[in-house]
Chains A and B, each alone.
Chain A
Amino acid sequence: MADIIKSSDLDLNFIKELSKNEETKSILSCFECGMCTASCPVGEQFLLNPHQITRLASFGVSNQILDEKILRYCLTCRTCQEYCPQDVDFIEFIRLARTLLIKRGIKYEETHDGILTLISEIQANLPNGFKLPSEVIPEGYQTLKEGKTAYFLGCLPILDVVFDAYQVNLLEIAQNGIKILNKVLEQPPVVIENAKCCGHDALWKGHFDTFKKLAEHNVNEINRLGIETIVTTCAECYRTLKVDYPKYVENVKFNVIHLSELIAEKIKNDELMFSEQYDVELTYHDPCRLGRHMKVYSPPRVILNSMEENGVIFTEMEKTREYSTCCGVSCFINCNDLSKALQMDRLVEAKNVADLLITTCPKCQIHYSCMMHEKKEQPSDVMKLEISDLTNLIAKMMGLSEFKHEEGENKGVKKQIEEKKYVNLYLYDQ
């Protein structure tokens, strides 16, 4: 940080841009206490600390802040805001700054060679949405083309192909989601045939135009089918559809609920009982989008606690709810040794209390599985941890699907090494 700020550095347009929005305007109230820097999981990575960035921004020194090296490290996990006495919306500011950065034509390096950005860009430019693979809809289950309640898959099928080397099996989440909704709802759910990706990553990377195209397409498509309620199983889709769509797109008339909210309500009303027996010790990881962003803390816990009679022992980790740590990567732009350290810490923490880590965000699952995959050649106790989505667990407990939890060892990866079949999709992957 430069010691002296010259008057020529001041950018009045930047302050105007910040003041347009109520949330970003809040950074003007920062009094530089430094709580954000102290609480930030990647604080040491920043060339400038969060409170320094906020300070410079409130002075309007845009050319020091709008720098790829400074903005890319923020995980947008919102931990800083939990501690901030002034309620400064730092992540909203980071989002705006990234948008301005992209507008200036500066692009940052991304992990996986930017394939996920390309996928969303291609989708935004082409008229039609995803073509879902036929195996998404499980045999013996039905989906409707029009109706009142829809299941929003998001990019689960695409992520399933891109990350299949990590054995995350994300398509299983989509299948189980359809199975559960078939049982729980009065009618089978609608699976929107022409939906695109929700645009979460594009929004938080600063590709605002891409996000807007995707969002407008999805909203039109949802309105055309006359859908009133949307159920998601993904924390990021949930946040984007519920908070960001009404903010940036017109004509948003639908409700959005997370599957865990739906199931928790059914359990509270005694409409749903889990039938299967499953002896396991498990713990729950709060994804930042569902937890700190949306404050959905209790529904997943209600579900997990209600499984007690069926043999499931639910233990909280040390850092939980508001203070849960991030999975280390956000929007696939900042993966480095510190992200890996964060992931490893979390896995060790989970292994200390349980054998199974449950989360509700497919991307958390991808990132933790990636960490496990990297350490596959140094087997340790942590490697025996199994990671799965809450949707899969609910489906298992309702007797709808087989759970791929195998006692003791991470058999999928091990089998691949034995057969030497593992071929990575990326050149620069370790």
Chain B
Amino acid sequence: MVEQIQETYFPKILTFLCNWCGYAGADYAGVSRYQYPPSIRVIRVMCSGRIQPSLILDAFNRGTDGVMVCGCHIGDCHYISGNEYAEERVKKTKKILEMLRIDPNRLRLEWISASEGIKFAEVVNDFTNQLISLGPLKKES
């Protein structure tokens, strides 16, 4: 669990979960009652390869503090190579974020299989803690 939850700021994480691994993993975490902070907002997609940079940038533009993309492990993709596309795209998006002076650590790509409920809980814990230490994504307006 998150030890120090600040009253003023609690991060919002937009999470894209792939239907076959990430979403099932999150489901498994819930069924097994592994505890993780309520910071994530889940969007289920059919494959992590579906996530294009503009979706991630749109999330940051609307004030999300972090974005997480979860897919199947490399080699396990339901659509053979979708997660390889996701990896490449996230890598490029991180470059763009760095140039826009948004910390690239605010974007995270994780491989979580359907049986790794405990890993999912750990990742969400870790990411939430990391975002709390980074602070809110500051906006001028």
Contacts and interface: CB of A to CB of B under 8 A. Distances in A.
A158 B57 CA distance: 13
Interface stretch (A12-20, A126-134, A384-392): A126-134
Interface in A130-186: 130-133, 157-158, 161-162, 164
Given A113-B54, A118-B57, A126-B140, A161 B100 contact: no
A122 interface: yes
Nearest to A162: B96
B54 A118 contact: yes
A122 B60 contact: yes
A233 interface: no
Interface residues of A, number: 28
Contacts of B50: 427
A122 B57 contact: yes
Contacts of A399: none
A157 B98 CA distance: 11
Most chain B CB atoms below 10 A, which of A122, A130, A158: A122
A115 B85 contact: no
A162 B85 CA distance: 15
B99 A423 contact: no
Contacts of B130: none
A380 interface: no
Nearest to B140: A127
A113 B50 CA distance: 12
A164 B100 CA distance: 17
Nearest to A161: B95
B109 interface: no
Contacts of B57: 115, 118-119, 122
B3 interface: no
A426 B52 contact: yes
Interface string B69-105: 0000000000000001100110010011011111000
Interface string B23-60: 00000000000000000000000000110111101101
A330 to B, nearest CB: 19
Contacts of A162: 53, 92, 96
Contact of B61 (A122, A129, A133): A122
A425 to B, nearest CB: 6
A421 to B, nearest CB: 10
Nearest to A421: B88
Interface in B120-141: 138-141
Contact of B139 (A113, A115, A126): A126
Contacts of A161: 92, 95-96, 99
B96 A427 contact: no
B129 to A, nearest CB: 24
A377 B107 CA distance: 35
B52 A427 contact: yes
A131 B101 CA distance: 6
A295 to B, nearest CB: 33
Given A119-B57, A128-B101, 20 more contacts: A112-B54, A113-B55, A115-B52, A115-B53, A119-B100, A121-B61, A123-B100, A125-B139, A125-B140, A127-B138, A129-B101, A130-B99, A130-B101, A131-B99, A131-B100, A157-B99, A158-B99, A162-B92, A423-B88, A426-B52
14 contacts: A113-B53, A113-B54, A115-B57, A125-B141, A126-B101, A127-B138, A130-B100, A132-B99, A158-B99, A161-B99, A162-B92, A423-B85, A426-B52, A427-B52
